[in-house]
Structure 1
Amino acid sequence: MNRHTRKMLLNIATGVAVAATAVVVFLPAANAAPGTVTGNVNVRSGPGTNYGVVDTVRRGTTVDVQQCQGSWCYIAKPGPDGWVSANYLSAGGGAPVNPQQPGLSFGFSTGPGGPTFNFGIGQQPQPPVIRPPVVQPTFGEACFYDRTRFRGASFCLEEGESIRNLGDWADRISSIDNQDGLQVQVCSESSFRNCRTYTTSASSLGDFDDYVVSVRVR
């Protein structure tokens, strides 16, 4: 190998090494953004109310928002991870989240190749864009507890949601937190049979205590 060829190969190798180093330096440490849960909300297995509930996360919990799809975001937290409505999230510093494009509130958007993150490396400072405040819709919910006086394990349903058969939660509900004054129907049989309706919170269900098999919130 002559000296000219060796020099050309050395230059190529040096260029590859520099490029690889740049990739390592500028890749993010984790594809997530911090967020805060603004109200008790169900964590679901997919981005929509038609997916099953895998957990419940309480108001004030700090989570890692990993991606958003439509008006739903996937969060990581202690316990099962999953999807929550963007209406129940705030971005860093308590900024409200636009439910139409929630990913932009956390510094990334979802495209054909997956989430795209905005880091601002090498970009010139841009003047702030003043936008009118986003008014977020509110959604009522009721929470169900397996002990009286709103204690113990719990899950929540939003207005319009229902569970025809509670499965593992059958015959466990002992109190209802219904601060939004919704019509909460608890039934001692599956498919909403033999029911009682509450429009306020109930610290004890009386003769329905530990005797509920199906529920719905209207």
Structure 2
Amino acid sequence: MVRKFFVGGNWKMNGNKGLNKEIIQTLVTGPLDAGTEVVVSVPTIYLSEVRTALPKSVGVSAQNAYKTSKGAFTGEISPAMLKDIGIDWLIGEKVGHALEEGLKVIACIGEQLAEREAGKTTDVVFRQTQAIAAKVKDWSRVVLAYEPVWAIGTGKTASPAQAQEVHKQLREWIKTNVSADVADSLRIIYGGSVTGGNAKELAQEPDVDGFLVGGASLKPEFVQIVNAKV
């Protein structure tokens, strides 16, 4: 099965009306590879604005949501509210409820530096994946993001070989513990200091199906990352 390349841009706690317009213009101008699924994850306060401004070919994701549909939870937002303003994706831990509410989920896993140095990478990511798998009935609406904690916002990136090794092991785990069909179709993407400079090399690895991009998603080089497979 050919898995469609997936690039998510996680703005985290960044953005303002001026910067948002610049990023949106960059995405609209592109050109973006039509063979890549592109989703940007935006701070809650800007979700509606960004969804309205971007073409439907670019998905918009929330970064988090509460684990119930409504109630007396001051400051929280629910998956039902996200759907109401046209948001289709969620990055976060509330996998089961988000899927039940009809959202698609980018589920993030990854080890800390001490865990990698202790040779516990697979122990950690398998345990995290098991917790996610226990709440998933429809894997077609899930993207699994391997984000080694030691590479997030540090400038350190897993080498293509390191990323491929973990992605391959994760796919084998899915094959053994879920099904061969899910293992074949599930997109496993890499996150951790991805840039326009390293994206093409990482994208050549057979089990790297895309990226979850942090800081570089706020810059014009994000287009290069989206087009890494071209």
Q: What TM-score results when the alignment is normalised by the length of structure 1?
A: 0.26
Which one has the largest radius of gyration? 1
> Whose helix fraction is larger, Structure 1's or Structure 2's?
2
Q: What TM-score results when the alignment is normalised by the length of structure 2?
A: 0.25
> Whose strand fraction is larger, Structure 1's or Structure 2's?
1
